[in-house]
Amino acid sequence: MPLVKAGRIVDDPYVRALDDAPIPDGVPVIVPGPRFLADASELVARDAPVGVLWPNDRRAAELEPWLGDLALIALVFPKFRDGRAYSQARLLRERYGFRGELRATGEVLRDQFQFLIRAGFDAFEVKKQADARVFTEAAARFSVFYQPSTDGRLPALRHRLRGGGPAVKARETL
Amino acid sequence: MYLYDDLDRTLVAERVAEFRDQVARRLSGELTEDEFKPLRLMNGVYLQLHAYMLRTAIPYGTLSSAQMRMLAHVARRYDRGYGHFTTRQNIQYHWIKLAELPDAMADLASVGMHGMQTSGNCVRNITTDQWAGVAPDEIEDPRVWAEIVRQHVTLHPEFSFLPRKFKIAVGASSHDRAALRIHDLALRLYRNGAGELGFEAMVGGGLGRTPFLAKTIKPFLHKRDILSYVEAVLRTYNEFGRRDNIYKARIKILVHELGAEAFAKEVEAEWQNIKDGTLALDPGAFADIASRFHYPAYERLDDSPRELTDARRADRLFDSWIGNSVIDHKVPGYAIVTLSLKPEGGTPGDATAEQMDAIADLADRYSFGEIRVGHEQNLVLPHVARRDLLPLWRALDAIGVATPNVGLVSDIISCPGLDYCSLANARSIPIAQEITRRFRDHNLARELGRLHVNISGCINACGHHHVGHIGILGVEKNGEEFYQISLGGKGDEDAKLGTLLGPAVPYAQVADVIEDIVAAYVELRERPDELFIDTVKRTGIEPFKERVYAAR
Amino acid sequence: MTSPLEQKIKITGPIVVTANRVGDGAVVYRRADGDWTTQLDQAAVTADAAAAREMVQAAVADDLRAVGSYIAPVTLTRDGGVRPGNLRERIRLAGPTIDFPGAARDPAQTGKQAAHVSLR
């Protein structure tokens, strides 16, 4: 499953250490939520970056104590129709101020890219190779948005109050 | 009405371009139906019994004449010459080809119309009172608030994949004409004891398999807090709504299972985090949206013009229509005119392209170019000068939309049913048609008074049968169509779910049963002006039940 | 007429496989050669459960041309004709049982037993 970051397909530096698999030294690792919480202080003391794969049916708030130590949080879309991770993402970014990599996993299709970006994701395990390749184009499909959101684009309302003109990115996104 | 600007138009145009690409990928096989289905649903494209169905949003039921002409054009060019106005102030086309949908949507986009949010697990068309902005009993135009909320929830990045659909209604008068309490979230604008204007927020209403009426979770919300509160409700629903069972996924189930109080607490906790953030509505933002609502330059007119009184005296039919279809306007000299889309033998809510074009012209001539769509599936011309009522009536009568049956027994609300809909168990339209024939005598219908008949072809209740004075639900028994009859439902501020009358009745007997129910009412009522619904409330359903089932 | 979307597959008589054509949503029936037709009498008919299962599985996989495939009952007439087996299928084949708006209407008509009459 190709990983897309900054609009390009990249190699994934992270290793998934699921269940009881031993955690390799010196490499970035992603650990499932319950396992992370059980061994948190050890894991964050490692030399290499640590990330957590957080289930979509637990509150993101549980990770708050660790946000400064986590390099990555991977959230889950079991089916793309299951939109709970959008709320988790926004809370992590906007309420708890998480600055690390926020990765979308599970069933990630091109038609969700813009929703995902606007919710605060900056890395995407894309289900289909073809979708990964057209990421930049698909992500740029809409230029006008009604709501304020994490990606910093001004909502339509703010644009109008500033005096019109097409909506522009308030800061660089990916 | 709200005037789209470049930003609104760009958003819609980009959406059409995206859908065009998605259709191409579906037709080429790049997208499977499983992948395509939620995408087409997000644009209001359903697959029904015979064809695709396009549902186009009519935000809070307000149309310009230019938009109505475009609806006529789409009916003519891409469909079979007609459209169906729904119980949620939308329009449906039943025969559109998938390959032509992007073109139809581009045409609609050119007048600021679209099918976004008319389907799928997102926030749907926000509905309100079809007399918004002109009703005398209204506090403030609820459509401005509906638009503020609409913009916020359209393509919302966090709330486009909710557990299930989410329907919002906004009201602003003491008499509820928007059926607030059958919505997932209802916002009622009112003035509190301290004289402040704000909203009562109610959640968890909905019909269907498990009907519920909405419960108040926030008695008073300041106007500035409306978006943050809506956000808190949606976020709570997104996080905790059930996703294991589509029949248990609406917010009404969550509210029921948690309890309204516990649910309110969750929302409140979330809301406290965000209420003073970017979603707090500042006066500038409100003023901007409000400024895009244009109201007519009303003249100073006589409220009882001589030509009107004379004409009423001279023409019994005209007088009867005035008494039935014309309501007082908040501006003297003007009137609110309802156009009945319930002719004898017709399909409730349907209009031909010719009718739509004619109505657009009449709107330009007599209603400052504005038309409304009501959830009762009738149309409204909201700004008619009383001195113009006679020529208007003649023109409406000529195109068949002046049946003086508004609010009466033959003004039936009905879903499309098994003639069109793949979810249906039984037909609804022929039932409605036959009832209109039985009650074709307008004097009789007027004599019976306000009487709402609602018909649904399946348990999904798109005909709102639970809140009909007489509710009819089509079911299937051994391959035959049967109908459950209920009495005593109400969809207004005194909302109530109807009570089942007795065993289901076969297709051929339904109209007879309705006649028996009406006959029972006439016998039982204390005075001629005791409404059907009040008689039922007073006597209960037993006397009706006896009468209906005695000979069956 | 319980929506087939909710039905368990049960074969108690002759059936066909039916769906909607992708391009225009028209009602179509699966033919023996795997193609689709709008003509019911050209449809492949079977009363054998295994054959039916195979047919519907192949139809479901034919996602490019038809969507929502399912098994629908039919009745066979004495002269070898194929008729829809319930009201839902009659309506799917013949169209709505009511006139479209704008069609000429006979005011003398009452209580049309539309279940037994096809209007198209």
Cβ of residue C88 closer than 8 Å to a chain B Cβ: yes
Pairing of strands B215-222, B350-352: unpaired
Check: CB of residue B380 under 8 Å from CB of residue B60.
Answer: no
Q: Which of B408, B336, B350 is nearest to B93 (CA)?
A: B350
Question: pLDDT band at C111, cuts 50/70/90?
Answer: very low
pLDDT of residue A137: 83
Determine if residue B246 is left, alpha or beta; phi over 0 gives left, psi from -120 to 50 gives alpha, anything else beta: alpha
Q: Which helix (H) or strand (E) holds B396?
A: helix B389-398
Residue B377 has which token pair?
């599936």
CA distance B330 to B133: 9
pLDDT of residue C110: 29
Check: CB of residue B362 under 8 Å from CB of residue B65.
Answer: no
Q: Mark which residues 33-62 of C lie under 8 Å from B by CB.
A: none
pLDDT of residue C103: 62
Residue B36 has which token pair?
């395509």
Q: Which residue type occupies A125?
A: E
Q: Which helix (H) or strand (E) holds A132?
A: helix A129-133
ipTM higher than 0.90? no
CA distance B413 to chain A (A): 33
Does an interface of 3+ CB pairs under 8 Å exist between C and A? Answer: no
Question: For residue range B86-131, what is the model confidence (pLDDT) as tens digits?
Answer: 998 999 999 999 999 999 999 999 998 988 888 889 999 899 999 9
Question: pLDDT band at C33, cuts 50/70/90?
Answer: very high
Architecture of domain B134-291: 2-Layer Sandwich (3.30)
CA distance C6 to chain B (A): 10
Length of chain B: 552
Q: Which CATH class is domain B6-109?
A: alpha beta
Cβ of residue A129 closer than 8 Å to a chain B Cβ: no
Question: For residue range A104-144, what is the model confidence (pLDDT) as tens digits?
Answer: 999 999 889 989 999 999 999 999 898 898 888 887 777 77
Chain A hits for B151, CB-CB cut-off 8 Å, are 146-147, 156-157
pLDDT of residue B552: 78
pLDDT of residue A163: 56
CA distance B334 to B54: 35
pLDDT of residue C108: 33
Tracing tokens 């959101």 back to the chain, one arrives at A149
Does an interface of 3+ CB pairs under 8 Å exist between B and A? Answer: yes
Check: CB of residue B492 under 8 Å from CB of residue B179.
Answer: yes
Question: pLDDT band at A10, cuts 50/70/90?
Answer: very high
Chain A hits for B32, CB-CB cut-off 8 Å, are none
Percent of chain C with pLDDT over 70: 76
CA distance B345 to C99: 10
DSSP, res B356: H
Q: Which helix (H) or strand (E) holds B34?
A: helix B33-41
**Mean pLDDT, contiguous 10-residue spans, chain B (552 residues):** 74 89 94 89 91 93 96 97 94 95 95 87 92 95 94 90 96 94 97 96 95 97 97 97 95 97 98 94 88 92 93 96 97 98 96 98 98 96 97 98 97 97 97 97 95 97 96 96 98 94 97 97 96 97 94 77
Chain B hits for C63, CB-CB cut-off 8 Å, are 29, 32-33
Cβ <8 Å between B350 and C24? no
DSSP, res B490: B
The domain segmentation of chain B, as residue ranges, is 6-109, 134-291, 306-398, 413-549
Q: Which chain A residue has its CA at the smallest distance from B232's CA?
A: A87
CA B237 from centroid of its chain's CA atoms: 24
B41 CB-near residues (< 8 Å, 6+ apart): B119, B120
Q: Which residue type occupies B310?
A: D
Cβ <8 Å between B50 and C96? yes
Chain C hits for B507, CB-CB cut-off 8 Å, are 115
Q: Mark which residues 3-32 of C lie under 8 Å from B by CB.
A: 3, 5, 20, 22-27
The three-class DSSP label of residue B217 is strand
Alpha helices in chain C (DSSP H): 49-61, 87-94
pLDDT of residue A148: 67
Cβ of residue A140 closer than 8 Å to a chain B Cβ: no
Q: Mark which residues 93-112 of C lie under 8 Å from B by CB.
A: 95-98, 100-102, 105, 107, 109-112
DSSP, res B206: B
* Domains of chain A with CATH codes: 3-141 (3.20.20.70), 142-174 (no CATH)
**CB-closest option in C27, C63, C88 to B418:** C88
Percent of chain A with pLDDT over 70: 84
Cβ <8 Å between B155 and A149? no
Query: Is pLDDT of C120 > 60?
Result: no
Q: Which of A120, A79, A80 is nearest to A102 (CA)?
A: A120
CA distance B323 to chain C (A): 26
Look up the pTM and report it.
0.89
Tracing tokens 């007088």 back to the chain, one arrives at B319
Determine phi and psi for B43, rounding to 5 degrees: -110, 10
Q: Mark which residues 265-284 of B lie under 8 Å from A by CB.
A: 273, 278-279, 284
Question: For residue range A51-81, what is the model confidence (pLDDT) as tens digits?
Answer: 999 999 999 999 999 999 999 999 999 999 9
How many CB atoms are closer than 10 A to CB A21?
Answer: 12
CA distance B459 to B3: 38
Query: Is pLDDT of A172 > 50?
Result: no
CA distance B482 to chain C (A): 11
Cβ <8 Å between B433 and C98? yes
Tracing tokens 């979770």 back to the chain, one arrives at B217
Domains B6-109 and B306-398 share a fold: yes
pLDDT of residue B38: 84
Q: Domain B413-549: what homologous superfamily?
A: Sulfite Reductase Hemoprotein, domain 1 (3.30.413.10)
Cβ <8 Å between A167 and B7? yes
Architecture of domain B306-398: Alpha-Beta Complex (3.90)
Q: Mark which residues 457-476 of B lie under 8 Å from C by CB.
A: 458, 476
Question: For residue range C42-95, what is the model confidence (pLDDT) as tens digits?
Answer: 999 999 999 999 999 999 999 999 999 999 999 999 998 999 999 999 999 999
